Amino acid sequence: MWKTVLWACVFFVVQPRSMAQVASSADSRGAAPDATMAGPQRSEFVPMTQRERLRHYFKSAFGVEGLVLSTTGAGVSQWMNTPSEWGQGAEGYARRFGNSYAQHMIRSTLTYGTSSVLHEDNRYIPSDQSGFAPRLKYAITSSFLARRDDGSRHLSISRLSSYLATAFISREWQPHSTIGPQNAMLSFSTAMGTAVGVRVAREFFPTVFRRHRD
């Protein structure tokens, strides 16, 4: 199921680039760019300072949301008895929670490092669009796109590479039933699917997240 979700999301990712070309062409003729293309206007975007980026990293790595996602992920794995070698009960849940939280920490750390080097901003900025479909598309594409210092959006190399690297790194402590490239790709797909779900929730239930940038 997650593979289907991932490919559907990748389809959405390719749309902003072609839309950006249309907007650029319209702007050169004196027409206003399509405001629905990339959410907030670039003039409203303020890039993070290094201090803000570091604060965002600590919030992402050690904040409540990471604990909640790790707890939930461990609960789902416990219910599905995956990996089966870890068994059930408190000990099995503790192993699954440790696995989920360790992956969360690695992803956060790798994303922080690579985004700093590449000047990518992976925070979620709620859209100013109206209508269910445009807002849903914006939320989904935001899981795969990052902003540069000028506010333009492009494929998030830091997020995707960090998620993929974490999926393979975590195979080092996995039991036999969940090692190998296929299981690593499944872990990557699951993590990206979760990221999509969180951003869709941020878009449509802003009061739950206090409408701040994650």
Q: Which of 43-57, 90-104, 125-139 is predicted with the least confidence, judged by mean pLDDT?
A: 43-57
Q: What distance in Å separates the CA atoms of residue 144 and residue 208, rounded to the nearest whole number?
A: 23
Q: Is the pLDDT of residue 21 over 50?
A: no
What confidence score (pLDDT) does residue 86 get? 96
Q: Please tell me which residue, 69 or 213, carries the higher pLDDT value.
A: 69
With a cut of 70, say whether residue 39 has pLDDT above it. Answer: no
Residue 151 lies in a domain: yes
Residue 99 lies in a domain: yes
pLDDT tens-digit map of 88-109: 999 999 999 999 999 999 999 9
191 located within any domain: yes
Q: Residue 30 above 50 pLDDT?
A: no
What is the rounded average pLDDT of the residues 195-214? 79
Number of domains in the chain: 1
Instruction: State the residue range of the domain holding 183.
Output: 2-6+53-204
Q: pLDDT digits over 158-185, tens only?
A: 999 999 999 999 999 999 999 999 999 9
The answer to whether position 29 is within a domain reads no
Residue, of 13 and 188, whose pLDDT is higher:
188
92: in domain: yes
In-domain check, residue 41: no
Q: What number is the average pLDDT over the span 121-138? A: 93
User: What is residue 33's predicted lDDT score, i.e. its pLDDT?
Assistant: 39
Is 118 part of a structural domain of the chain?
Answer: yes
Helices 181-204 and 64-80 meet at what angle, rounded to 10? 130
Q: How much is the pLDDT for 28?
A: 40
- Would you place residue 45 in the very low, low, confident or very high pLDDT band (cuts 50, 70, 90)? confident
- Residue at 12 is within a domain: no
